[in-house]
Structure 1
């Protein structure tokens, strides 16, 4: 604590990211990174952009990127709002769409924890909506009449850390029941098996879809994300962005992102490889006695009836494997395990088998 801090800084509880270890030889299955490298076309584009042009400011509107994203999704460039990673995009959404006096933001009790951090940062009251017993989102909780009109609704789909996905019909029902409220769907993991709500943008002008290149495009280190929404919503987000940082994406990030989006063949191969390995991993974990929630993400969420999540997480770390454990109500027995390569997954399962045998 410092006497120089602003008043609100003392009360902040910052988001805690997954561990980024400095120890060599650890198998890192804790932060949902892609197990394969970026597209060669992406690396080539970044190298080509590494030239004398770096002395100049980048395109503040990220025009080429917006056009590439728009073409991919059948939208107009005016419907695309890029940012320095999807977390920055979400920050602008919270600031630009959810600050409405005492109206609360609705969100699940188990979801991406950064949402609560942003509520605290921007002084947005939040109304926590418990997931069902099976950890799914109950649509009726969001379509029912609310005594106080919400400032907005936000959830990840597939949800994190559960991996469970909501269908488009349910998302449409939520949006239609709240026509004057922004409904934000954070689709960081959508490419691994869920249906994107981008398909609903023509029907529901209150929907905002958030994507990232960190997961399915293997670019967590480049920091590129974007929102897809109506032209009017994007205009509002642009006003917020240009009041904060008018040059959020550098030249290298823009060049690499465009190339990654355009290399659909490489994207599809990596996506399918992860989906296939995920299905194999789910079966192997079930054989070891784990309950695994139905995942449409590049991770699985699993618990063992006879073992504490924290103890299993530590035992894996002692054997050189990192997974994510959350010491939170309802999910403290679970491990969130990133789907790596088949070789990674085999090592994980073999190690878990040895741990379970020793502690039987």
Structure 2
């Protein structure tokens, strides 16, 4: 059957010229070992399904009536958890929607937006969508971010922290430096993976353990906005809930933009489930630590195969085979039903991004890699 040709004569110039974001694969195959999209290997808190079921059982009008437009209960729970006021909290339909509103609210200006050249690949798409002039700043040779490289006029700076796909963490001291040096620009720290940062490994100049999330800085800097998501550490990628934390004036701008686009971004089930997840802090901390432990064991297994593995603080590792044949290895793994992420782009084409999975998934992955490298060395 021939492919249908799309007639775009009725499209706007914007729609015709867009290069949309391509999400990670969601293949549906039996016995699949899926390590490509950074989903959490553990289920969400049991309280999530309990809360959703209770809502449907107790409220006959649960789905007939509109949800709370500002998700007040969820925002209140998040505010309490982070010791904030509710007017410092914003929620949306996944962090992708929150980030889109961020671009529309703060970066559609004459001055450019600054971002790392290797980072979340949706940032250039947002920039194109909202006609934002994006200037990408090259990472250092070791893939770290140098705050001094951002010393130029801008409307804002956006940095994923830990960065993706490298997993490297920018210190709070460096974030403070960016915010203080750009008082008239919005500094956005995208913390999709921050809950997997090992706080015991993050210390201040005196060697003392320090905070990891930039949320701890928002009362100090009125130009700092921190975004997070329920998709990773709370195992709720299917529920689509994201949030932003910042000065009340920044949150008000996001709310104005939201209500000019979609007044009801979160349905009642999402609000109930997400709120229950926030309240079950014991389960949250337990599963985050399990992911951290699994990340360390995966890193050790890859290093034993002579892979170069960056010191990730996320729920994935960024690893380079000794021979640099990442594409070949990704194809080999795919043929065995093991899906990892390979980025065919400059500087990182010899690396694989591998999501932290279960012990069983790691065992299957490492056995496949061991067999491959043994066969290569014997040729």
Please classify the TM superposition score into its range, dividing by the shorter chain length: over 0.9
Query: Using the alignment, how far apart are the partners of 1:264 and 1:343 within structure 2?
Result: 26
Query: Using the alignment, how far apart are the partners of 2:32 and 2:375 within structure 1?
Result: 21
Query: Using the alignment, how far apart are the partners of 1:205 and 1:255 within structure 2?
Result: 30
Which residue of the partner structure matches residue 17 of structure 1? Answer: 23
Please give the per-residue CA displacement for 1:44-81, whole angstroms capped at 9, x wherever unaligned: 01111225221000000100000000001010110111
Query: Using the alignment, how far apart are the partners of 1:209 and 1:332 within structure 2?
Result: 30
Which residue of the partner structure matches residue 96 of structure 1? Answer: 105
Q: Structure 1 residues 42-51 or 185-194, which shifts more?
A: 42-51
Query: Using the alignment, how far apart are the partners of 2:73 and 2:66 within structure 1?
Result: 15
Q: Is the 8 A contact 2:48 2:276 kept in 1?
A: yes
Query: Using the alignment, how far apart are the partners of 1:105 and 1:39 within structure 2?
Result: 37
Which residue of the partner structure matches residue 285 of structure 1? Answer: 302
* Partner of residue 28 from structure 1, selected from 21, 30, 34: 34
Which residue of the partner structure matches residue 362 of structure 2? Answer: 345
Which residue of the partner structure matches residue 226 of structure 1? Answer: 243
Q: Which runs of 5+ in 1 are unaligned?
A: none
Cα RMSD (Å) of the superposition?
0.9
Which residue of the partner structure matches residue 86 of structure 1? Answer: 95
* Partner of residue 112 from structure 1, selected from 115, 120, 128: 120
Query: Using the alignment, how far apart are the partners of 1:305 and 1:15 within structure 2?
Result: 31
Matches of residues 1-360 of structure 1 in structure 2 within 5 Å?
A: 1=6, 2-50=8-56, 51-52=59-60, 53-101=62-110, 103-142=111-150, 144=151, 146=152, 149-193=153-197, 195-360=212-377
Query: Using the alignment, how far apart are the partners of 2:271 and 2:132 within structure 1?
Result: 32
Please give the per-residue CA displacement for 1:123-166, whole angstroms capped at 9, x wherever unaligned: 00111100000000011112x3x2xx201100100000000001
* 2:170 aligned counterpart, secondary structure: coil
Query: Using the alignment, how far apart are the partners of 1:341 and 1:46 within structure 2?
Result: 27
Query: Using the alignment, how far apart are the partners of 1:137 and 1:316 within structure 2?
Result: 31
Give, in angstroms, the shift of residue 307 of structure 1.
Answer: 3.8
Query: Using the alignment, how far apart are the partners of 1:100 and 1:139 within structure 2?
Result: 22
Query: Using the alignment, how far apart are the partners of 2:30 and 2:155 within structure 1?
Result: 46
TM-score (norm 1): 0.97
For this pair of structures, how many residues does the alignment match? Answer: 355
Query: Using the alignment, how far apart are the partners of 1:167 and 1:342 within structure 2?
Result: 30
* 1:55 aligned counterpart, secondary structure: coil
Query: Using the alignment, how far apart are the partners of 2:305 and 2:375 within structure 1?
Result: 13
Query: Using the alignment, how far apart are the partners of 1:223 and 1:168 within structure 2?
Result: 28
Query: Using the alignment, how far apart are the partners of 2:155 and 2:289 within structure 1?
Result: 38
Query: Using the alignment, how far apart are the partners of 2:180 and 2:244 within structure 1?
Result: 20
Q: Is the 8 A contact 2:155 2:184 kept in 1?
A: no
Q: Which runs of 5+ in 2 are unaligned?
A: 1-5, 199-211
